[in-house]
């Protein structure tokens, strides 16, 4: 191994200035993998550009790409770059490692002290160390940002020694070719809306001026840039994507932090697309992808800032999320009634069940029907048709009665609702799994994820600050619920064996909901056979329910039971809507002498130990020998499980920390052997 030190010098016959090809550069990051390269020249109009600071883990296609990037960053920051050390293979003389440092690094040699040239060396520690990895890319392994001197104006040019061949190639590139750089885990965006009329950075947000680009206030671009850069440097598994117009204007942004990304693996089977801010024209054009965890709490699965409610923007957002989760389709997607969303989901998630949010539909009833004569009576009939019918024929009859009786045949909103009924009416959705996000009972709501943190006039910069506060609160709630579920036993209220069985398995909140169903078994007073077809028996369960005016009425529920297949299905479909069996199904099991709920009806996502034993990505057993990102993602997920467990108590913490230290020492031993 040879070490070559290159000193700073001014251009002479043997030296030339390496111009940092920074102007007009746009770079995108897709989970450390590029999807496209961008022209370094002429991609954007002239204007101020901001470069993300170097970070451990950045990867580049070549040494020149890495050098040019650090040179551009230094130019913006106000210091010069020189190559401190280079490492070459003994036989091939192929470069495989280097240290780039601030030109003020080190000190003059004693014999040079008396030269007339002004002293510029201060022993500055700023540097990056990088080397070639197995993927043949150059990876940054060590970074020091701190300088021990004042930084100058952003006009410096760095000096790099090159042979005549390299100089000729560079000059040819600048004259005839457009240089391209593929940069991994790095980002450049225009800090001031590119400084052109085409890129709207004004004092206020106007939704109609530029429907195909993100409408930003002055300073919003810089706020987005700062926020994403900070997360990238501090959040190991942070993922983001940025979408630009052909003119270089920011159009859409998507990001998922490490904890939310882990939640995608656990709870990405059912997603609610919360576009409240978009549909109500909030100051912040936010779309949140939301799931529900094993405590019945909503969890964030991703965030986007979109140019508008267009098919193109939503399609881009969903493809970005799909990239983040390695192509794992959600089972169910719940959205507002929006044609753009419907088209985008059909394109990106053709295998998923797309359903409309009943909660949002019910919220719009006063707005859409409030002006009608006999509104109160219409609303009551509407609610009865939606929530109290159990069969399609009953819903159709109740809807037809409402339309004819109140003379609203030509009401456009009701007509369009009826056309879409198979996507929102509970009676049509019995085979769709909702995991508790269905809101299929009167009074249930799907509140906006950032409710109380974002209102109509909240500026984007303020939202980015509140975003982390909201997530910290959600994460704390989940952690406390985990601790409570594991460290305490719920109080039993009946002698039912089902209650005892699931008190040991379910999380505290899910058990409370199931426990209510067990208690309500006592309101079911009759279980009789209706029909027998081999092993399949249809039972009729009668229940006294509380109706309007605090009066009790009797309702009939049909339950299918197959003893040989351990299958039980109620017409109310509580299991698909909420993830646990209803009182009617439990009555049938009890009637047939079954003492335990069949395992197929105890969902792992409802258990208190779900995140301890469930590994979202089973592909880890088939490891790609060159896919570094697969290694990183699997290691991160595994480490996160240790972190989750280590936060339970001080003893857990000490054991987890020691395990991490031991593992790191063993990894260092492997690295030393390779060196």
List, for residues 173-194, the tens digit of each pLDDT value: 333 333 333 333 334 333 333 3
End position of a domain, from candidates 356, 388, 409: 356
Place of tokens 């040239």: 117
Contact 151, 78 (CB under 8 A): yes
Contact 178, 26 (CB under 8 A): no
pLDDT of 160: 41
Residues 395 and 349 in one domain: no
pLDDT 10s digits, 594-611: 999 999 999 999 999 887
Residues 574 and 637 in one domain: no
Contact 284, 453 (CB under 8 A): no
Residues 175, 343: Cα–Cα separation, whole Å: 45
Note whether residue 425 is domain-resident.
yes
Residues 345 and 368 in one domain: no
Residues 522 and 418 in one domain: no
The structure's pTM equals 0.68
Long-range contacts of 225-228 (CB under 8 A, 24+ apart): 225/50, 225/52, 225/187, 225/189, 225/191, 227/464, 228/52, 228/187, 228/253, 228/255
Note whether residue 562 is domain-resident.
yes
Place of tokens 């595994």: 638
Q: How far apart are the first and last CA of the chain?
A: 11
Note whether residue 450 is domain-resident.
no
Residues 655 and 531 in one domain: no
Residues 135 and 62 in one domain: yes
Note whether residue 80 is domain-resident.
yes
Three-state secondary-structure class, residue 370: coil
Q: Which of 596, 582, 570, 600 is nearest to 496 (CA)?
A: 596
Structure tokens at 668: 């260092």
Residues 535, 549: Cα–Cα separation, whole Å: 42
End position of a domain, from candidates 602, 620, 643: 602
Residues 371 and 325 in one domain: no
Residues 230 and 309 in one domain: yes
Note whether residue 477 is domain-resident.
no
CB atoms within 10 A of CB 574: 21
Residues 576 and 534 in one domain: yes
Domain range for residue 303?
A: 220-356
Residue ranges of the chain whose pLDDT lies below 50: 1-49, 154-208, 618-621
Structure tokens at 55: 């970070």
List CB contacts of 132: < 8 A, sequence separation 6 or more.
95, 96, 97, 138, 139
Three-state secondary-structure class, residue 554: strand
Distance of CA 532 to the CA centre of its chain: 48
Report strand pairing: 298-305 vs 524-533: unpaired
Note whether residue 133 is domain-resident.
yes
CB atoms within 10 A of CB 167: 14
Q: What is the DSSP letter of 373?
A: T
Assign residue 331 the CATH number of its domain.
Answer: 3.30.420
Question: Which residues pair with residue 80 across a beta bridge?
Answer: none
Note whether residue 670 is domain-resident.
no
Count of structural domains within the chain = 5
Contact 141, 131 (CB under 8 A): yes
Residues 398 and 314 in one domain: no
Note whether residue 26 is domain-resident.
no
Residues 369 and 352 in one domain: no
- DSSP sequence for 588-619: HHHHTT--S--GGGS-GGGBTTHHHH--S-GG
pLDDT 10s digits, 439-483: 888 888 888 999 889 998 999 999 998 898 899 999 999 989 998
Contact 239, 33 (CB under 8 A): no
Residues 243 and 343 in one domain: yes
Q: Which of 216, 158, 191, 224 is nearest to 50 (CA)?
A: 191
CA distances, 541 to each of 219, 457, 499, 556 (Å): 63, 52, 20, 6
pLDDT of 192: 33
């Amino acid at each position: 191994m040879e070490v070559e030190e290159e000193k700073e010098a001014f251009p002479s016959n043997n030296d030339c200035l390496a111009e940092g090809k920074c102007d007009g550069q746009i770079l995108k990051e897709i989970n450390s993998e590029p999807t496209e390269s961008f022209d370094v020249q002429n991609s954007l109009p002239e204007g101020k550009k901001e470069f993300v600071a170097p970070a451990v883990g950045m990867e580049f296609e070549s040494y020149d790409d890495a050098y040019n990037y650090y040179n551009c960053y230094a130019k913006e920051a106000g210091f010069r770059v020189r190559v401190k050390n280079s490492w070459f293979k003994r036989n091939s003389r192929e470069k495989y490692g280097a240290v780039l440092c601030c030109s003020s690094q080190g000190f003059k040699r004693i014999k040079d002290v008396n030269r007339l040239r002004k002293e510029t060396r201060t022993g500055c520690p700023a540097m990056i160390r990088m080397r070639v990895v197995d993927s043949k890319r150059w990876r940054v392994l060590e970074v020091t940002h701190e300088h021990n001197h004042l930084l100058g104006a952003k006009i410096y040019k760095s000096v790099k020694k090159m042979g005549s061949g390299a100089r000729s190639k560079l000059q040819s590139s600048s004259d005839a070719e457009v240089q391209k750089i593929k940069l991994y885990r790095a980002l450049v965006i225009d800090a001031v809306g590119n400084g052109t009329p085409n890129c709207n950075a004004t004092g206020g947000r106007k939704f109609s001026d530029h429907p195909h680009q993100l409408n930003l206030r002055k300073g919003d671009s810089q706020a987005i840039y700062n926020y994403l850069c900070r997360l990238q440097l501090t959040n190991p598994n942070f993922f983001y994507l940025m979408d630009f117009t052909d003119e270089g204007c920011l159009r859409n942004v998507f990001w998922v932090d490490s904890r939310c990304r882990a939640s995608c693996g656990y709870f990405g089977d059912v997603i609610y697309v919360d576009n409240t801010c978009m549909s109500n024209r909030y100051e912040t054009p936010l779309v949140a992808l939301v799931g529900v965890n094993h405590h019945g709490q909503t969890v964030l699965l991703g965030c986007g800032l979109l140019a508008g409610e267009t098919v193109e923007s939503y399609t881009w957002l969903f493809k970005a999320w799909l990239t983040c989760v390695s192509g794992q389709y959600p089972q169910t997607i719940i959205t507002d009634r929006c044609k753009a969303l419907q088209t985008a989901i059909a394109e990106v998630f053709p295998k998923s069940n797309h359903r409309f949010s009943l909660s949002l539909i019910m919220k719009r009833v006063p707005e859409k029907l409030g002006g009608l004569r006999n509104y109160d009576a219409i609303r009551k009939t509407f609610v009865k048709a939606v929530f109290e019918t159990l069969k399609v024929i009953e819903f159709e009859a109740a809807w037809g009665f409402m339309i004819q009786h109140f003379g609203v045949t030509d009401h456009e909103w009701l007509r369009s609702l009826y056309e879409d009924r198979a996507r929102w009416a509970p009676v049509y959705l019995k085979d769709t799994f909702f995991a508790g996000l269905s809101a299929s009972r009167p009074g249930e709501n799907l509140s906006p994820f950032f409710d109380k943190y974002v209102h109509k006039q909240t500026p984007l910069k303020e939202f980015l600050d509140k975003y982390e506060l909201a997530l910290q609160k959600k994460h704390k709630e989940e952690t406390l619920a985990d601790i409570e579920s594991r460290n305490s036993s719920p109080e039993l209220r009946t002698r039912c064996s089902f209650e005892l069985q699931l008190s040991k398995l379910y999380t505290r909140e899910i058990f409370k909901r199931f426990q209510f169903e067990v208690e309500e078994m006592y309101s079911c007073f009759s279980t009789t056979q209706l029909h027998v077809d081999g092993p399949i028996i249809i039972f009729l369960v009668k229940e006294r329910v509380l109706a309007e005016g605090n009066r009790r009425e009797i309702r009939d529920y049909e339950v299918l039971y197959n003893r040989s297949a351990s299958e039980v299905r109620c017409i109310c479909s509580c299991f698909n809507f909420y993830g646990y069996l209803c009182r009617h199904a439990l009555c049938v099991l009890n009637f047939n002498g079954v003492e335990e709920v069949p395992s197929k009806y105890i969902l792992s996502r409802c258990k208190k130990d779900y995140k301890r034993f469930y590994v979202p990505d089973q592909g880890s057993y088939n490891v790609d020998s060159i896919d570094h990102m697969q290694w990183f993602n699997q290691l991160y997920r595994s480490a996160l499980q240790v972190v989750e467990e280590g936060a339970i108590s001080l003893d857990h913490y000490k054991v987890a920390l020691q395990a991490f230290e031991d593992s790191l020492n063993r990894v260092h031993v492997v690295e030393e052997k390779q060196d």
